[in-house]
Amino acid sequence: MHEVGITRSIVEICEENARRQGATVVRSVTVEIGELSGVVPDAVEFCFEACSKGTLLEGASLIIDRIPGRGRCDACQAECNLEPHSFECPSCGSMALQRIQGDELRVKEMEID
């Protein structure tokens, strides 16, 4: 489960930022996870408590923003929802879909004291 490593780096990034801002505790963290990123939000949620133990994030609430996959077709310029394994444009059947959204994995905001 590579979410352990991902969650650990989320915690590290947040802690570093919080320290830089002189915070003593992090109240909550909002993380954006795209549906096409391959990261399972539930797994991140599951690892968070263990990964944040002993850090400024201990006891913080984790808010996960799930970003749906979106694509644009190079052939007909139509935009569509993208599932993790869809490669075909629903309007014209072309395989020239470009991802425009859904790969996100980033810390969006953090509430500190």
Which positions lie near Zn ion, rule CB under 5 A? 73, 75-76, 78, 89, 91-92, 94
- Cβ nearer to Zn ion, comparing 34 with 71: 71
48: left (phi over 0), alpha (psi -120 to 50) or beta: alpha
For residues 109 and 21, what is the distance between their CA atoms, to the nearest angstrom?
13
Minimum distance, C-beta of residue 37 to Zn ion, in the bound complex (Å)? 24
- Cβ nearer to Zn ion, comparing 1 with 76: 76
- Cβ nearer to Zn ion, comparing 58 with 74: 74
- Cβ nearer to Zn ion, comparing 33 with 102: 102
Does residue 105 sit in helix, strand or coil?
Answer: strand
Residue 21 · residue 113 · CB < 8 Å: no
Q: Which residues contact 11 (CB under 8 A, 6 or more apart)?
A: 48, 51, 52, 55, 57
Minimum distance, C-beta of residue 83 to Zn ion, in the bound complex (Å)? 16
Minimum distance, C-beta of residue 80 to Zn ion, in the bound complex (Å)? 8
Token pair for residue 30? Answer: 């909002």
Minimum distance, C-beta of residue 97 to Zn ion, in the bound complex (Å)? 8
